[in-house]
Amino acid sequence: MRIAIVSDIHGNMPAFQAVLRDLAQVQPDHVYVNGDVVNRGPQSKECLEQVRALGWPLVFGNHEEYIVKCRRGVPDEDWWSLFWLPVRRLAQDELTDDDIAYLESLPHSLVVAEPGLPAIRLVHGSMHALNEGLGPWMTDDELLAAVNGASEPIVIGAHTHRTFERRLGTRWVLNSGAVGMPYNGDPAAQYLLLVGENGNWRAEFRAVPYDRTPVYEAWARTGYLEVSMAARLMVYELETATYHFGPYFDFCAQHGYDRNDPEVFAAYWQASRDTLPGRAVHNHLPRDDTR
Ligand SMILES: [Mn+2]
């Protein structure tokens, strides 16, 4: 028995296609998608259509929530700023009413129960919040609290875009990492394969290298790179496999800068670039502040 957990595709169709090619080789019995199919990348509509066509069970993520709220016009002035233009376009123009209704219907967690194997709970964030990720910065007690409420021994989260696992007595907590926008310094499209053998699951973290050029081209076609620093930030995150969104907001807040000023973005780019060791591994955030 083999199951694949795929999460955080984030509108990155070339990364998703790379995972689909890998899955064709691996041939899992079931595939589950643990949230955040949409947003951050330039091809949310295509990714959502593909997931729906495949019929894979999908768990609600914080970016599904975000897009639904944008579409429903939940008032939040910041979301209507130029900075969030790609999100607005996605929310307003690309997804159909049926897509939005589908996203609203998604479960916030799923239980995977295979005969003769420990049961698994899938949840995008933690058992308590869509945007509380499970990761190595948590103490054992924090991690146990975050999965409290799941009666299954295994809990698999996503959201942080960083693969992770820790055993805590009878509990096993894992994070499947991200397909479309990893933050663990490895730009490959990442997902989790669980292999059931002799009454137990074994975890295999898969990382599938792919050419990111088509993603950059898809971004260029949107026209947003010229007007939206959010779009440039997302490209920068993709390029470096590193989380920049929160640090960029903090950088702007500290100096009182306009987040959508190209010169401000250039200054952040330069400053952050100097701190990227070899422009590859940059995973020293003390806590998960993924937004
Ligand atoms: Mn995500």
Look at residue 284 in the predicted model and tell me its pLDDT: 35
Instruction: Please indicate, yes or no, if residue 273 is contained in any of the structural domains.
Output: no
Q: How many CA atoms lie within 13 A of 127 on its CB side?
A: 17
167 - beta bridge partners? 172
Q: How far is the C-alpha of 116 from the C-alpha of 103, rounded, in Å?
A: 32
Mean pLDDT along residues 168-188: 95
Ligand 1 midpoint to CA 27 (Å) = 25
Q: Locate tokens 């996203």: which residue? A: 103
Ligand 1 midpoint to CA 116 (Å) = 32
Look at residue 277 in the predicted model and tell me its pLDDT: 47
Ligand 1 midpoint to CA 242 (Å) = 13
Over the stretch 109-163, which tens digit does the pLDDT of each residue have?
A: 999 999 999 999 999 999 999 999 999 999 999 999 999 999 999 999 999 999 9
The residues placing their C-beta within 5 Å of ligand 1, an ion, are: 8, 36
Ligand 1 midpoint to CA 238 (Å) = 13
Instruction: Please indicate, yes or no, if residue 259 is contained in any of the structural domains.
Output: no
Q: Containing H/E element for 91?
A: none
DSSP annotation of 168 reads E
Instruction: Please indicate, yes or no, if residue 267 is contained in any of the structural domains.
Output: no
Q: Are 60 and 125 in contact (CB under 8 A)?
A: no
Instruction: Please indicate, yes or no, if residue 114 is contained in any of the structural domains.
Output: yes
Instruction: Please indicate, yes or no, if residue 195 is contained in any of the structural domains.
Output: yes
Over the stretch 221-246, which tens digit does the pLDDT of each residue have?
A: 999 998 899 999 999 999 999 999 88
Q: Give me the percent of the chain exceeding a pLDDT of 90.
A: 78
pLDDT at 286 > cutoff 50: no
Q: How many domains does the chain have?
A: 1
Amino acid identity of residue 163, one-letter, is T
Q: In what order do the strands lie in the sheet with 30-33?
A: 30-33, 2-6, 189-197, 200-208
* Burial class of 26 by CB neighbour count within 10 A (0 to 12, 13 to 18, 19+): middle
Ligand 1 midpoint to CA 132 (Å) = 11
Q: Provide the b/e sequence for 114-126 (b: ≥16 CB within 10 Å).
A: eeebbebbbbbbb
Instruction: Please indicate, yes or no, if residue 145 is contained in any of the structural domains.
Output: yes
Ligand 1 midpoint to CA 212 (Å) = 18
Look at residue 281 in the predicted model and tell me its pLDDT: 37
Ligand 1 midpoint to CA 48 (Å) = 14
9: three-class secondary structure by DSSP: coil
Ligand 1 midpoint to CA 115 (Å) = 31
Ligand 1 midpoint to CA 36 (Å) = 5
**CATH number for 95:** 3.60.21.10
Ligand 1 midpoint to CA 190 (Å) = 13
Over the stretch 184-194, which tens digit does the pLDDT of each residue have?
A: 989 999 999 99
Q: Give me the percent of the chain exceeding a pLDDT of 70.
A: 93
Expressed as residue numbers, the domain containing 38 is 2-208
Closest alpha carbon to 164 in 194, 203, 112, 200: 203
Tokens of 147: 């999965």
Look at residue 276 in the predicted model and tell me its pLDDT: 61
Q: How far is the C-alpha of 247 from the C-alpha of 136, rounded, in Å?
A: 19
What Å distances lie between residue 46 and 14, 214, 217, CA to CA?
Answer: 10, 14, 15
Mean pLDDT along residues 161-189: 96
Mean pLDDT along residues 213-217: 95
Look at residue 72 in the predicted model and tell me its pLDDT: 86
Instruction: Please indicate, yes or no, if residue 203 is contained in any of the structural domains.
Output: yes
Q: Locate tokens 């907001």: which residue? A: 249
Amino acid identity of residue 161, one-letter, is H
Return the higher-pLDDT residue of 214 and 246. 214
Instruction: Please indicate, yes or no, if residue 228 is contained in any of the structural domains.
Output: no
pLDDT at 287 > cutoff 50: no
Q: How far is the C-alpha of 184 from the C-alpha of 242, rounded, in Å?
A: 6
| Residue 9 pLDDT level (bands cut at 50, 70, 90) | very high
What are the helix and strand counts (H, E) for the chain?
10, 9
Q: How far is the C-alpha of 43 from the C-alpha of 179, rounded, in Å?
A: 13
Ligand 1 midpoint to CA 176 (Å) = 11
Look at residue 75 in the predicted model and tell me its pLDDT: 65
| Residue 283 pLDDT level (bands cut at 50, 70, 90) | very low
Q: How many CA atoms lie within 13 A of 191 on its CB side?
A: 30
Look at residue 83 in the predicted model and tell me its pLDDT: 83
What Å distances lie between residue 95 and 22, 62, 253, CA to CA?
Answer: 27, 17, 32
Q: What is the greatest pairwise CA distance in the chain?
A: 58
